[in-house]
Amino acid sequence: MARNNKLNRKAMTKPLLIVSESMRNADMYYATHFLASDPFIYLHVPHEEKDILIVSQMEYERARKESIVKEIRSSLGYGYELKMEELISKILQEEGITAIEVPSYFPLYIAEELRKKRIEVVPLEEVSITKEREVKNEQEVNSMRKAQRACENAMARALTVIKHATVNGNCLMENGELLTSEKIKAYIEHALIDSGCSSEGGEPIVACGTRSADPHFSGHGPLLVNEPIIIDIFPRLKLERYCADMSRTISKGEPKREIKEMYDAVMQAHNAALALVKEGVTCKEVHHRVCDIFEERGYETIRKGGKKGFLHSTGHGVGLNVHENPRVGDNEYVLRSGNVITIEPGLYDPEFGGVRLEDMVLVLKDGCENLTRFEKQLVIKPF
């Protein structure tokens, strides 16, 4: 994965030390491009412009072949079965390092043991790598386009099944059996696997009826006719590791008037937010525009402490994690060309259900490129 020097790490005054696995730690994977489920060590020495990767002997040859870090070392070279704090101490001593910066999730026990050896350990709320990841280069964006196509393929598969479902009473049926949230999620996950993806951060959301008013309710049980169904899919490419994110709200048959009105309001807020997104605009401006529209149409919002209505931020960054910086909410973050964010306003009412529409967009100098091509349509006819 080529990077384009988005931030100048020479400005760092102390070496950066990260101890972690990289299957779930996006910073570690971004810095090393080495995927491992067991913790290993990454050390960036700014005054020497040097990166060092220390892995077990078992992983040494693989790291040499796969990692973008040039200097790879085996922990065996420092001694057999050393504790992690002993290994780190030896490495720092060899490099002549007496002070380090570490991420906020750095193990407390190791930090205290290093301090006993008179090594200054400075925890950072956010390390430079996290900030670098906010702006994507062309290669990263292309990976996310690929993930989004997989996401849309899975969504299309889900909607095809729902479209061809029959109706028995108030339930949807497939081949004479109840069509459930679980079955649709299985179709989605199989489609993602076929596209080289997994569902990131848990199973997709297929929430029907009044429980769709719980924004992160995964959904279970029968799917119902004339009720809102929120489908939220967030895949990760298995090879490239980049994510996508998309939500649609549909109804098999005519939903209640209240749901139709919520859908119209969400669509208006969604389009207004997309029209605002460009380099130089703050996340706060985008979020407040969505709140303005909802409040003008009589809905409660999180901005005014509402207990229903619009209950979350307008969106979030996407990359190696499905949720990362920047958060498109009530904050002063200034959007930059290369940010990839979601725009996902939603309305939720426990009496009627929920509506959410989510696209993933690339921020540009004079606007944004919508990386999501999938249509938005509420009603799917029952027959």
Amino acid identity, position 345: P
End-of-domain residue from the set 67, 99, 132: 132
From first CA to last CA, the distance across the chain in angstroms is 48
- 309, 202: one domain: yes
- 115, 251: one domain: no
- 370, 296: one domain: yes
Percentage of residues in the chain with pLDDT exceeding 70?
Answer: 96
Mean pLDDT value of segment 191-213: 92
State whether residue 47 is helix, strand or coil. Answer: helix
Beta bridge partner(s), residue 95? none
What pLDDT was estimated at residue 199?
76
- 109, 161: one domain: no
Q: 27 lies in a domain? A: yes
Structurally, how many domains does the chain consist of? 2
- 242, 289: one domain: yes
Residue 84 and residue 54 in contact, taking contact as beta carbons nearer than 8 Å: no
- 363, 250: one domain: yes
- 183, 263: one domain: yes
- Provide the 8-state DSSP code for 245: -
- 123, 230: one domain: no
In the numeric block, the tokens 């929430």 are attached to 207
What pLDDT was estimated at residue 209?
97
Cβ-based neighbour number of residue 223 at 10 Å: 26
What pLDDT was estimated at residue 228?
98
Residue 6 has pLDDT above 50, yes or no: no
- 38, 143: one domain: no
Angle, alpha carbons 142-18-63 (nearest 5°): 60
For 226, the domain range is: 138-380
- Provide the 8-state DSSP code for 333: P
Q: 249 lies in a domain? A: yes
- Beta strands 197-199 and 235-237 are antiparallel
Amino acid identity, position 229: I
Q: What CATH number is given to the structural domain containing 127?
A: 3.40.350.10
Locate 357 and state its tokens: 């529409």
Mean per-residue pLDDT of the chain:
95
CA dist 116 and 138 (Å) reads 45
End-of-domain residue from the set 132, 164, 197: 132
End-of-domain residue from the set 132, 159, 179: 132
CA dist 152 and 246 (Å) reads 8
pTM of the model: 0.94
Amino acid identity, position 300: E
Locate 66 and state its tokens: 């796969």
* Closest to 55 (Cα-Cα) out of 1, 108, 91: 91
CA dist 374 and 109 (Å) reads 48
DSSP E strands in 75-233: the ranges are 99-103, 120-124, 166-168, 171-174, 177-178, 197-199, 205-208, 228-233
CA dist 342 and 369 (Å) reads 11
Structure confidence by residue, pLDDT tens digits, 93-148: 999 999 999 999 999 999 999 999 999 999 999 999 999 999 999 999 999 999 99
- Quote the distance between the C-alpha of residue 33 and its chain's center: 18
- 216, 262: one domain: yes
State whether residue 13 is helix, strand or coil. Answer: coil
CA dist 186 and 235 (Å) reads 14
Q: What CATH number is given to the structural domain containing 352?
A: 3.90.230.10
- 186, 163: one domain: yes
- Provide the 8-state DSSP code for 213: G
Residue 107 and residue 85 in contact, taking contact as beta carbons nearer than 8 Å: no
DSSP run (H or E) holding 324: strand 324-328
Structure confidence by residue, pLDDT tens digits, 221-256: 999 999 999 999 999 999 999 999 999 999 999 999
Residue 338 and residue 137 in contact, taking contact as beta carbons nearer than 8 Å: yes
Q: 2 lies in a domain? A: no
Q: 260 lies in a domain? A: yes
State whether residue 175 is helix, strand or coil. Answer: coil
- 213, 342: one domain: yes
Amino acid identity, position 143: S
Q: 178 lies in a domain? A: yes
Least confident of 35-39, 201-205, 361-365: 201-205
Mean pLDDT value of segment 53-81: 96
Q: 355 lies in a domain? A: yes
CA dist 302 and 347 (Å) reads 11
Q: 4 lies in a domain? A: no
Q: 3 lies in a domain? A: no
Model confidence band, residue 383 (pLDDT cutoffs 50, 70, 90): low
CA dist 217 and 213 (Å) reads 8
Locate 51 and state its tokens: 């990166």
